[in-house]
Amino acid sequence: MADPSTPEPTKTETAIAEVGKISRQLTQDGFEHEYLGVDASGVEILKVDGSFLIPFCTALYAYGFNYLQCQGAYDVGPGAELVSMYQLIKVDDNSDRPEEVRVKVFLARENPTVPSVYWIWKTADWQERESYDMYGIIYEGHPNLKRLLMPEDWIGWPMRKDYISPDFYELQDAY
Does residue 45 sit within a domain? yes
For the chain, give the percent of residues with pLDDT over 70.
86
| Counted domains in the chain | 1
Domain membership of residue 133 (yes or no) is yes
Q: Confirm whether 10 is domain-assigned.
A: no
Q: Output the pTM of the full model.
A: 0.84
Among the listed ranges 58-67, 89-98, 112-121, 157-166, which one has the minimum average pLDDT value? 89-98
Residue 27 half-sphere exposure toward CB, CA atoms < 13 A: 12
Q: Using CA atoms, how far apart are residues 26 and 61, in angstroms rounded to an integer?
A: 12
Residue 112's closest CA among 44, 37, 169, 53? 53
In a domain, 147, yes or no: no
pLDDT (tens digit per residue) in 146-172: 999 998 888 899 999 999 887 766 665
- Residue 111's domain comprises 18-140
Residue 105 resides in a domain: yes
pLDDT at 175: 46
Q: List, in sequence order, every beta strand (DSSP E) within 15-137.
A: 34-38, 44-47, 67-75, 82-90, 99-107, 113-115
Summarised one tens digit per residue, pLDDT across range 36-81 is: 999 999 999 999 999 999 999 999 999 999 999 999 999 999 989 9
Residue 49 domain-assigned (yes or no): yes
